[in-house]
Amino acid sequence: MVGRVFQDMERLGHVDLEASEMAIRASSHQIGGSLLEKLLNADGGDYRGARTPCGKGHRAQFIEYRDKQLLTVLSPVEVKRAYYHCEQCQEGVIPKDHNLDIVDTSFSPGVRRMMGQVGGKEPFEEGRRDLENLAGVLVKTKAVERVSQAIGKQIETVFQAERELALSGKVVPLKAVPKMYIAIDGTGVPMVRRETEGRKGKDETGKAKTREAKLGCVFTQTTLDENQRPVRDEHSTTYVGAIETAEAFGTRIYAEAIRRGVSRAAQVVVLGDGARWIWGIAEEHFYGAIHIVDLYHAREHLALIAKLVYGASAIKSKAWLDARREQLDAGDVEAVIASMHRLRPSPTQVQQAVRTAADYFHTNAERMRYAEFRKQGLFVGSGVVEAGCKTICGQRLKQSGMHWTVRGANAIIALRCCQLSSRWEEFWEARALG
């Protein structure tokens, strides 16, 4: 291949750089691949004698050598492995596959890592194309999907163990943090039909088409900027999430907070929208925390009412909204509620919507003392978790035409959360150490 590059160069009289780099990359991958193949087979197949432990307490017997086609980031290679069989388990045992981390897969860890990298970030088909274009790795879309989901499940298993350890109280946080924020939100993920059967939905059919993914993040804050606004500690945000019950999610986010040192936080703040399950979790797991309803969510409720009540009249709507927003910013929730009570919309539906909104502000009044929170140098908007929600679930899971199973979505949420929490590297290092 490199030879051809030189021939082309002579013929054309100049270097076509792009074609040359691609050709040389391809041939160096081939050279590297054959080197790797030699290296992988230098052990002659990892023969461990006539018998070897099966891993479940028995002795498996050597049968023969078996070759496996393995796709690596360099090229496909053939790996020779000693194959054993356990009578009791009725199962094949290949010690070498365990050593190389290639059990039940024909993709090397390097290729799988790349597949997971793209699969957590973008639709599987786009990921497949990126692998081909960026890395010269040719795989099927379905393989990107399967491998990404398998990695997501492994991440969930590893992090689940970590959460249990955190909950056991055996983890001692290293350093104290001035302020820790726990931001929680939910977002609908489109599901395949069988996952929503019998569930109530909000649209005209009354049938659910989505399931709620619960998402949370933990971040810390140490300083204020020159305008006395809070500054999030850089790289301090970690994410967790899943489609699961509020109870299960409560344990998940609580364990994450412990891992992040909540027991040594001087101040703990729970940020969320008005959803009742969020405050339930706050009450149960974060006793004594400051509750703050995300200012942006609260404003959305006001905007909705302005639109419903004043409809087409943009000026009236804007005037009403501006005045309410000012009251809200000042934390004067009572004034907001009073002006809602003064509204006299005629359609019954709008009346109902106004009542619901007024109730929302009433219920959450103490969580909306924004002026007071700002005075304390606290964040009042959960832009962080909103961005997280959009990044994790919106972009990745909610594109048109996508339909998920709960298992599939949860695996990708776990994968995505791991990557966004900057723990992807750590996960693979831990794997390599076995």
- Cβ proximity to Zn ion: between 85 and 207 the closer is 85
Query: Is 89 a residue that touches Zn ion (CB under 5 A)?
Result: yes
Query: Is 51 a residue that touches Zn ion (CB under 5 A)?
Result: no
- Cα angle value 418/185/328 (rounded, 5°): 135
Q: How far apart are CA 21 and CA 5, in angstroms?
A: 9
Burial code (b: 16+ CB inside 10 Å, e: under 16) for 350-383 equals beebbeebbebbeebbebbbbeebbeebbbbbbe
Query: Is 403 a residue that touches Zn ion (CB under 5 A)?
Result: no
Q: Residue 139: helix, strand or coil by DSSP?
A: coil
- Cβ proximity to Zn ion: between 84 and 124 the closer is 84
Give the x-and-dash track for 309-348 against Zn ion (CB under 5 A).
----------------------------------------
Query: Is 56 a residue that touches Zn ion (CB under 5 A)?
Result: yes
Q: Which of the ranges 84-92, 132-140, 185-193, 346-354 carries the binding residues for Zn ion, by CB under 5 A? A: 84-92
From first CA to last CA, the distance across the chain in angstroms is: 39
- Cβ proximity to Zn ion: between 52 and 196 the closer is 52
Q: If we measure between CA atoms, which residue out of 82, 83, 146, 80 comes closest to residue 111?
A: 146
Query: Is 1 a residue that touches Zn ion (CB under 5 A)?
Result: no
Q: How far apart are CA 122 and CA 126, in angstroms?
A: 6
Query: Is 85 a residue that touches Zn ion (CB under 5 A)?
Result: no
Query: Is 58 a residue that touches Zn ion (CB under 5 A)?
Result: yes
Query: Is 61 a residue that touches Zn ion (CB under 5 A)?
Result: no
Q: How far apart are CA 308 and CA 349, in angstroms?
A: 9
- Cβ proximity to Zn ion: between 3 and 57 the closer is 57
Query: Is 53 a residue that touches Zn ion (CB under 5 A)?
Result: no
- Cβ proximity to Zn ion: between 55 and 178 the closer is 55
The least CB distance from residue 207 to Zn ion, in Å, is 48
Q: Which of the ranges 56-64, 95-103, 161-169, 190-198 carries the binding residues for Zn ion, by CB under 5 A? A: 56-64
DSSP per-residue string spanning 166-235: HHTT-PPPSS-EEEEEEEEEEEEEEB-GGGTTT-B-SSTT-B--EEEEEEEEEEEEEEE-TTS-EEEPTT
The least CB distance from residue 56 to Zn ion, in Å, is 4
Instruction: Order across the sheet with 51-53: list the strands.
Output: 51-53, 59-71, 76-86, 91-93
The neighbour count for residue 203, using CB atoms within 10 Å, is 9
Q: How far apart are CA 187 and CA 243, in angstroms?
A: 9
Q: Tokens 């977002």 map to which residue?
A: 187
Give the x-and-dash track for 21-40 against Zn ion (CB under 5 A).
--------------------
The least CB distance from residue 88 to Zn ion, in Å, is 5
The least CB distance from residue 60 to Zn ion, in Å, is 6
- Cβ proximity to Zn ion: between 54 and 180 the closer is 54
Q: Which of the ranges 82-90, 270-278, 371-379, 386-394 carries the binding residues for Zn ion, by CB under 5 A? A: 82-90
The least CB distance from residue 89 to Zn ion, in Å, is 3
- Cβ proximity to Zn ion: between 32 and 92 the closer is 92
Distances (CA, A) of 21 to 72, 73, 139, 373: 20, 17, 22, 57
The least CB distance from residue 154 to Zn ion, in Å, is 23
Query: Is 160 a residue that touches Zn ion (CB under 5 A)?
Result: no
Query: Is 98 a residue that touches Zn ion (CB under 5 A)?
Result: no
Q: Which two tokens mark 29? A: 């991958």
- Cβ proximity to Zn ion: between 88 and 245 the closer is 88
Q: Which of the ranges 51-59, 254-262, 308-316, 352-360 carries the binding residues for Zn ion, by CB under 5 A? A: 51-59
- Cβ proximity to Zn ion: between 51 and 56 the closer is 56
DSSP 289: P
CA torsion sign for 328, 334, 339, 341 is positive
262 close to 220: Cβ distance less than 8 angstroms: no
Query: Is 86 a residue that touches Zn ion (CB under 5 A)?
Result: yes
Give the total of residues touching Zn ion (CB under 5 A). 6
- Site residues for Zn ion, 235-274, by CB under 5 A, read none
Q: For helices 295-310 and 314-329, what crossing angle results, to 10°?
A: 150
Q: If we measure between CA atoms, which residue out of 234, 255, 215, 267 comes closest to residue 376?
A: 267
Q: Which of the ranges 75-83, 87-95, 318-326, 343-351 carries the binding residues for Zn ion, by CB under 5 A? A: 87-95
Residues that bind Zn ion (CB under 5 A): 54, 56, 58, 86, 88-89
